[in-house]
Copies of this chain bind each other. A is one copy, B any other.
Amino acid sequence: MKVNGSPCRTIRVDPDDRRRILTIDQRRLPFELVEHPLLTLDDAVEAIAAMIVRGAPLIGVTAAYGLYLAALEAPADDSLRAWMRAAGERLKSARPTAVNLAWAVERVLAAIEESDDDQAERALCVAEEIEREDVESCRSIGEHGVRLIEEIAERTDGSPVNVLTHCNAGWLACVDYGTATSPIYAAHDRGVPLHVWVDETRPRNQGARLTAWELAQHGVAHTVIVDNAGGHLMQHGMVDIVLVGSDRTTASGDVCNKIGTYLKALAAHDNGIPFYAALPSSTIDWTMRDGVREIPIEERDGDEVRSVDAFVDGALRSVAVLPRETPVSNFGFDVTPARLVTGIITERGICEASETGLRGLFPEAPKR
User: Which residue numbers of A lie inside 8 Å of B, CB to CB?
Assistant: 30-31, 197, 200-203, 205, 208-209, 212, 216, 221-233, 235-236, 258-260, 262-264, 266-267, 270, 292, 297, 305, 307-312, 317, 319-323, 326-331, 333-335
Q: Other than the known A203-B226, A208-B326, what 18 A-B pairs have Cβ atoms closer than 8 Å?
A: A30-B322, A200-B305, A205-B321, A208-B322, A222-B327, A224-B305, A224-B327, A225-B305, A228-B259, A229-B259, A230-B263, A231-B263, A232-B331, A233-B331, A263-B263, A266-B270, A310-B310, A310-B321
Give, as a whole number of angstroms, the nearest-CB distance from A184 to chain B. Answer: 16
Partner of A224, one of B30, B309, B311, B328: B328
Partner of A292, one of B205, B216, B235: B235
Partner of A297, one of B212, B232, B322: B232
**A32 CA / B4 CA spacing, docked (Å):** 44
Give, as a whole number of angstroms, the nearest-CB distance from A221 to chain B. Answer: 8
Q: Give the number of times this chain occurs in the complex, counting copies.
A: 2
Give, as a whole number of angstroms, the nearest-CB distance from A248 to chain B. Answer: 14
**A200 CA / B36 CA spacing, docked (Å):** 34
**A333 CA / B238 CA spacing, docked (Å):** 15
**A159 CA / B331 CA spacing, docked (Å):** 22
List chain B residues, Cβ under 8 A from A228: 201-202, 227, 258-260, 263, 334
Query: Assuming A205-B321, A235-B292, A321-B310, is B267 touching A328 (CB within 8 A)?
Result: no
Contact A331 B229 (CB under 8 A): yes
Contact A308 B310 (CB under 8 A): yes
List chain B residues, Cβ under 8 A from A266: 231, 263, 266-267, 270
Query: Assuming A309-B321, A310-B321, A319-B319, is B208 touching A226 (CB within 8 A)?
Result: no
